[in-house]
Amino acid sequence: MYVWGRAPDPPSDRADAMTGSTPVPDAVVARLQAALGPGYQVDRAIGQGGFAAVYLVRDLTLKRPLAVKVLSPDLVLSTTARERFRREAETVAQLSHPHIVPLHFIGDAQDVVYLAMTFVDGESLADRIARDGPLDPEEAARILREVASALDLAHRRGVIHRDIKPQNVLLERETGRSLVTDFGIARTAESASITATGMVVGTPTYMSPEQVTGGTVDNRSDLYALGVMGYEMLAGRPPFAGSTPTEILMKRVAEPAAPVEKARPDTPPPLAAVVNRCLEQDPAKRFNTGSEIVRALGGATTPSGAQPTAEARRARRARRPLVPALAVGAVVLLAAVGALLLKGRTPQRRTPPAAPAAPAGMVLVPPGTYTIGRNDGPPWERPAHPVTLTAFYIDRTEVTVGAFRRLVAATGGPGVWGAIPAATVDSSLPVTGISWPRASSYCGLAHPPDGRLPTEEEWEAAARGTAGRTYPWGPAWDGGAANTASARRGGPAPVGSFPRGNTPDGIEDLIGNVWEWTASHAIAYAGGVAPPRSTPDDFVIRGGAFDTPDAIADAARRGYLPPMSTQLASTGFRCVAPAR
């Protein structure tokens, strides 16, 4: 959220003195002006996000500019949004620190919900990096120390920011002082977060591994994000990149960040050590507090507000390597050589490449039109409707305890993933007790780069085929084909224990054994109704479990759970990947 910009002109008796022109009116501006009263002059919008907009406002009594953050009109009637807005104000109000943007007051009138903060004349750290590229190590260290100091106070007051990034660090134009802003998704110790249960909150580039996997998030997650920001200040780019947010998220769980000194060889060793330690995958290996970072950087920072001179910046840019230009020249040269070598050659007939083999443990579901839903049964499973899908691969079996243990061990261990099945649990059983975020993260890592949970349409297509079978094995119930209530096992069976229940393509255990997470929210089909007592934040589960009555264990059955449910003893998952 942008709360900074070019400072307004000195105050005068004219209402339009801030910009030299008459402010452009709109409905929100008019309502905000009415809510604030005659002691304030609303000038213009200076920032816009999905949750709120920020307006430049003149405090006519104290002759100062303010940044007034206004809840989006579309969200004014949302109790959750208003509570989140109020929570942000309460959070910032308890944090008086020279490196946190101060809050002055909040209000709720004229159908406008707002909070007023200090207007910071300057730019964001993100803007600075975009304009000038990597920062001098001394300045990067100073900013890290100042932000770490701000976070230390927040953490001691029980506040976790959860969205530390260059866009949320402002640099004061006159002094260079850094200020942390936007506590909109912060969590406090006294009250739980009001974001949707199980929602992965934060910005993918800066999220910690435990945020990605749904593990325990504490102050060390903020320090991880601080490390990402430190890396970006020094290297001009974050440590992990990808073409999609999911790819970025998966990389930080799958592999540690490369040492920052590899990207920026002139980084002073003490500064590199701080950044690298912040970026440890295991929270236990990071700093515990912001004050530890401040002390570690105590001998490597410049006084607050110090900035490199314009000459130093020009010199730094002049020192940047000519690798891109040389690379372009090399490409041109190679292209010319290639043209000479190919001249006069007879074109060769190319053999079409062989179709790629299915990933290990997965089965191809061909493209086609599949019937989803039914015209009888519960209303939330109606109506039957056609869905056209592209080809995809799906796991032959539910993810097993053994497979889950192996991936966790290879990607950070319990420190990142949280609790894992005990060593005494049979490795051939389907893994259960896994929240939706952890299941989703597992699929992305197990089948890179695009592995994920199946949509419920994909799951049902795999189970019913293009013929629209009632059960994976055919049109009629077979008591020996699935581990449901009639099997009387009282718990999950090792995967593949009921081969009569396989699909013609060999996909196992789609009915019974354990329910399976999907990527689909529990909403109504077109022309139908939503499942009873569900919320749009819940996710559909499919297939039934070992305790599901036979009469309702079929391929169109829809269940649902909150993504962070603790009632997961009978819920597991399997993954899909696109067929390329």
Q: Where are the beta strands (DSSP E) in 11-161?
A: 40-48, 52-59, 64-71, 103-109, 112-118, 120-124, 159-160
214 neighbors 247 (Cβ within 8 angstroms): no
Query: Residue 95 has which token pair?
Result: 């944090």
- DSSP conformational letter for 520: E
Catalytic residue among 136, 152, 163, 222: 163
Distance CA 461, CA 340 (A): 52
Whether 163 is catalytic is yes
Phi, psi of 537, deg, nearest 5: -85, -15
Contacts of 346 (CB under 8 A, 6+ apart): none
CA distance 221 to 282: 10
Q: Which residue has the tokens 């001009």?
A: 236
Write the DSSP assignment of 387-407 as a string of letters.
EEE--EEEESSPPBHHHHHHH
Q: Which residue has the tokens 């089909």?
A: 525
Do 67 and 3 touch, CB atoms closer than 8 A? yes
- Could you count the other beta carbons within 10 Å of the beta carbon of residue 459? 27
Kind of pairing between the strands at 169-172 and 120-124: antiparallel
Q: How far is CA 68 from the centre of its chain?
A: 27
Q: Are strands 112-118 and 169-172 parallel, antiparallel or unpaired?
A: unpaired
Are 239 and 257 spatial neighbours (Cβ–Cβ below 8 Å)? yes
Cα dihedral across residues 101, 104, 108, 109: positive or negative? negative
The residues, ordered by sequence, that sit 6+ positions from 170 with a Cβ below 8 Å of its Cβ are: 3, 4, 101, 120, 122, 123, 124, 125, 178, 179, 181
Active site residues: 163
